[in-house]
Structures are given as C-alpha cells and as structure tokens.
C-alpha cells in the first residue's frame, strides 16, 4: 500500500511539473515574415500564440519585431514575453509578397534546420504583408490565426493531392523539371481569403494567377484527377449570342485518361497532352433542353472548345512568365539522356517550345439541368 501511495505522489508531482512547464510556453502556431523599412534590421517577424487569460478563456497574443534574421527575432521575442517562445507547433508561415520577390530560401532553410518545426509547415504568400493578416480583426470575432488555420485545413481537404508545405516546396525547388507555387492570401470582403496563387522561379515569387486561372492549373496537373469548373457558353443562332453568353455551365470532372507525348527534333521540342474527361453537370442556366441528345452533344463540344482555348492560352502565359508549375520540364527530361538534359538551356527551350493541350469531354450525368 505504501508503495502505491508513493507512486501516486510521484505521478501527481510529475503532472504538476508538466502543467507548469506547458503554462510557461508560448507555442507559436502562425508566423509571418515581411520586409521592414529598417536597413539594419530588414526582416519583420510576427508571431501568434494561444494563451489562457486570467478568466480561464483561450485567447491569442501577437508579437512583432524587426530583426536581422529569424534567430535574432526569436531572441527578441523571448525578451518581450514572460513565456518561453517555442516554434514546435508552427502550422502556417505567411511570406510577404515583397519578401517573396527577393527569395524565400533563407527563411525556409531556417525551418529545415530546426528539428522542432518539422517539414510540414503550410506556406502562403501574403498579398500585402503578413503583419496585416495576423493583426486583422474580423466582424465575426474569430482570431486571425484561428481563421487562417481553419482555412488551410479546408484547402487541404479539398485538394488532398496538392501540398503547400515546406517539404513540397523544397521538393519542387530542387527538381529542375518543375517550379513551386503557393496560395496567395489577402483581406477580401472583410475577411481573410485565398485570392489566387503565386508562381515561383526557384525560390522567387514571379507572378500571380487569379482563382479562375488556378482551376486550369489544377486541371493540367497530373496529380489532380478531379475538380470543378464553371464557364459561360454561347450556343445557338448568331442573333441570340448576346443572350446566350449569359448561359452558365458548372460541372465537376474526373479524368478518365491522360497521355503526354514529346517530340524532339534538332533544337525544337513539341509537346502534346490529351486529356479525356467524364463530367457531371451541376448547373446550366441556358434555354436548351438538355434531355435531347443533340443538345447534349452541343454542350459537350462547347465545353471542349472552352477547355482547349483556356488551357492553351494559359500555357502560353506560363511560358511568358518563365514558370513551370505544371511540370512540363519533367516530360521533356524523361525523353532525353542525362547528358542531353544537362546541356539543355531549359529556360530558353521552355519559352519557345510548342505546347498543345486537347481535351475530350463525355457528359455522364446531366443532373437537374433542364
């Protein structure tokens, strides 16, 4: 009996010590990096961490400092708080757009070298700056950090095969056949929202694509087999076009087949990508009766035309930007010897190569469309 009592005392003591230790920690869950206007301390680092106030309520504290480096910022945070600031619970890092334009490798390298952080911190570009996103107060009353974390959990659930964490960024960064891309977050309609995606060349932010363009980006990637697209269609006599341009089609798709061919001749490269889709109509606001087979064929053709035009237009834009988030370089590299690829000026070749995307659509379900 005495032994049991001694063990219970030791156990309770250990629990008390553990509780005391946890209460003394500031567990960072969201962190942001921006450029500051201070030349000597060019980095502005902002952190959010949850705490329990005197009333026993869960709330958040935010600290922001200007520093020379991430390590310097951590030392300053420790001096500003009576808690021990630790980074083991960081789930999201916001990178200010101006900082991202100069390159984010040094910031991410800090994450990679810190064993407490791990390799699965979600990354996002702050369209203006991360400080504003973290300190933003919404009408709903939710903390900015909590809202952002919920938003990225939802994004992960929607795009299970696409990751925006540090491991994936480094994977694409070190792969010479593809470039990274990250979500862009801004304040829209009085709340934080993903407003597009940032394209990178190596570790430098180059260009933004809007949400409509991002649907085409996801459609073209081999690691995404399904999604939703909406478009306006014009069907019928020419005099009716103005009216029918208002017809809206929304559908979800599943890729039934996809193949890519590459032809290399002398200094020219031609790539053709064929995608076969099975789609289900979710919405159609036009006047055609889609229970008739001839009208079904018309809609299929219009969707094919839309996809062919948009995908090829988008690929041309990517070539102008010099960014390859699709992984076109992987296809070309797989059709070359190692020596040929190493001797190839890929940036120059990518900007001038002939890329053609063709979609074949089969509507499987017309849903409630009339």
The model's pLDDT over 19-52, given as tens digits with 9 standing for 90+, comes to: 445 567 878 999 999 999 998 999 999 999 988 7
Categorise residue 246: left if φ over 0, alpha if ψ from -120 to 50, beta otherwise. Answer: alpha
273-285 pLDDT tens trace: 999 999 999 988 8
85-89 long-range contacts (CB < 8 A, ≥24 apart) are 85/25, 85/26, 85/28, 85/47, 85/49, 86/25, 86/26, 86/27, 86/28, 86/116, 87/28, 87/31, 87/114, 87/116, 87/117, 88/27, 88/116, 88/117, 89/27, 89/28, 89/29
What domains are defined for the chain? Answer: 12-209 (no CATH), 211-370 (3.30.300.210)
Quote the CA–CA distance of 143 and 48 in Å, as a whole number: 10
Q: What is the pLDDT of residue 16?
A: 44
pLDDT above 50 (res 358): yes
Q: Which of 121-135, 200-214, 220-234 shows the lowest mean pLDDT across its residues?
A: 220-234
What pLDDT score does 230 carry? 86
Beta-carbon contacts of residue 35 (< 8 Å; ≥ 6 apart): 42, 43, 44, 96, 98, 99, 102
CA dihedral sign, ordered 243, 246, 247, 253: positive
Contact status, residue 226 vs residue 162, Cβ threshold 8 Å: no
* 14, pLDDT greater than 50: no
Which of 90, 65, 88 has the alpha carbon at shortest distance from 76?
65
pLDDT value, residue 341: 95
| Cβ-contact 314, 322 below 8 angstroms | no
Mean pLDDT, residues 2-23 taken together? 46
Q: What is the pTM of this model?
A: 0.88
pLDDT-wise least confident of 24-28, 55-59, 353-357, 362-366: 55-59
Cβ-contact 226, 252 below 8 angstroms = yes
Q: Is 108 helix (H, G, I), strand (E, B) or coil?
A: helix
The residues, any chain, with a CB within 8 Å of residue 240's CB and separated by 6 or more, are none
User: Which ranges of the chain does DSSP label H, i.e. alpha helix?
Assistant: 2-23, 70-80, 97-102, 105-113, 130-135, 144-158, 166-174, 211-220, 241-244, 293-321, 328-333, 338-343, 346-352
pLDDT class for 246, splitting at 50, 70, 90?
A: low
Contact of 364 with 280, CB cutoff 8 Å: yes
Which DSSP category does 321 fall into? H
- Which tokens in the block code for residue 247? 């017809």
Percent of the chain with pLDDT over 90: 58
């Amino acid at each position: 009996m005495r032994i049991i009592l001694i063990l219970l005392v030791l156990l309770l003591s250990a629990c008390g010590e553990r509780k005391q230790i946890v209460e003394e920690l500031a567990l960072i869950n969201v962190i942001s990096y921006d450029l500051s206007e201070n030349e000597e301390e060019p980095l502005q680092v902002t952190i959010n961490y949850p705490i329990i106030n005197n009333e026993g309520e869960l709330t958040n504290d935010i600290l922001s400092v200007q520093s020379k480096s991430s390590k310097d910022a951590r030392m300053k945070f420790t001096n500003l708080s009576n808690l021990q600031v630790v980074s083991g619970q960081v789930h999201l890092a916001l990178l200010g757009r101006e900082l991202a334009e100069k390159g984010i490798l040094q910031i991410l390298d800090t994450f990679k070298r810190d064993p407490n952080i791990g390799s699965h911190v979600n990354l996002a570009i702050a369209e203006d700056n991360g400080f504003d996103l973290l300190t933003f107060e919404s009408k709903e009353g939710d903390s900015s950090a909590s809202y952002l974390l919920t938003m990225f959990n939802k994004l992960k659930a929607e795009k299970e095969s696409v990751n925006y964490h540090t491991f994936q960024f480094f994977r694409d960064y070190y792969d010479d056949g593809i470039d990274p891309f990250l979500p862009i977050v801004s304040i829209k309609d009085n709340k934080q929202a993903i407003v597009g995606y940032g394209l990178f060349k190596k570790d430098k932010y180059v260009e933004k694509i809007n949400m409509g363009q991002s649907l085409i980006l996801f459609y073209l990637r081999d690691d995404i087999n399904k999604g939703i697209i909406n478009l306006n269609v014009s069907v019928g006599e020419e005099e009716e076009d103005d009216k029918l341009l208002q017809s809206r089609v929304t559908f979800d798709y599943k890729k039934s087949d996809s193949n890519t061919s590459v032809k290399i001749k002398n200094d020219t490269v031609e790539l053709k990508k064929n995608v076969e889709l099975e789609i289900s109509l979710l919405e159609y606001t036009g006047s055609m009766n889609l229970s008739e087979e001839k009208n079904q064929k018309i809609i299929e053709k219009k969707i094919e035309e839309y996809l062919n035009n948009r995908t090829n237009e988008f690929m041309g834009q990517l070539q102008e930007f010099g960014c390859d988030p699709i992984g076109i370089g992987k296809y070309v590299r797989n059709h070359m010897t190692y020596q040929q690829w190493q001797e190839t000026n890929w940036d120059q070749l990518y900007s001038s190569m002939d890329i053609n995307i063709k979609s074949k659509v089969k509507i499987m379900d017309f849903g409630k469309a009339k």
